[in-house]
């Protein structure tokens, strides 16, 4: 995971927003923008922060479906989408779900 010193403005915004909202046990933000720079939708886009994978573990997801978890995150990051964030790939788990997988 990149340190905050290496974070660009979009990464830093995502990190701050999700940390404040979810109080995560863990949060990993991976910038995959370079893998998508050649896509037609990215022609003329100069930002190096358009596509991300986000892995987050938080008790805030307890009792929520995957769809509800994703809507929560997309809603919280709406200002980032308006500013040029193009795509997120989300992996959202509770600590209990992570522990269950680790036990298996």
pTM across the whole model: 0.80
CB 22 within 8 A of CB 96: no
Mean pLDDT of the region 19-33: 95
Residue 18 clears pLDDT 90, i.e. is over it: yes
CA nearest neighbour of 53 among 7, 80, 90, 96: 90
Q: Which domains does the chain have, with CATH numbers?
A: 24-37+47-103 (3.30.300.90)
Residue 45 clears pLDDT 60, i.e. is over it: no
Mean pLDDT of the region 16-31: 97
What is the Cα–Cα distance from 103 to 94, expressed in whole angstroms?
14
Mean pLDDT of the region 29-42: 65
């Amino acid at each position: 995971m990149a340190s905050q010193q290496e974070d660009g403005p979009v990464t830093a915004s995502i990190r701050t927003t999700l940390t404040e909202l979810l109080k995560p046990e863990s949060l990993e933000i991976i910038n995959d923008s370079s893998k998508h720079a050649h896509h037609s939708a990215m022609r003329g886009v100069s930002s190096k922060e358009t596509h991300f994978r986000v892995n987050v573990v938080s008790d805030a997801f307890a009792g929520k479906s995957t769809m509800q978890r994703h809507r929560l995150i997309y809603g919280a990051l709406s200002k980032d989408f308006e500013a040029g964030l193009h795509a997120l790939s989300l992996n959202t788990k509770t600590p209990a779900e992570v522990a269950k997988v680790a036990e298996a």
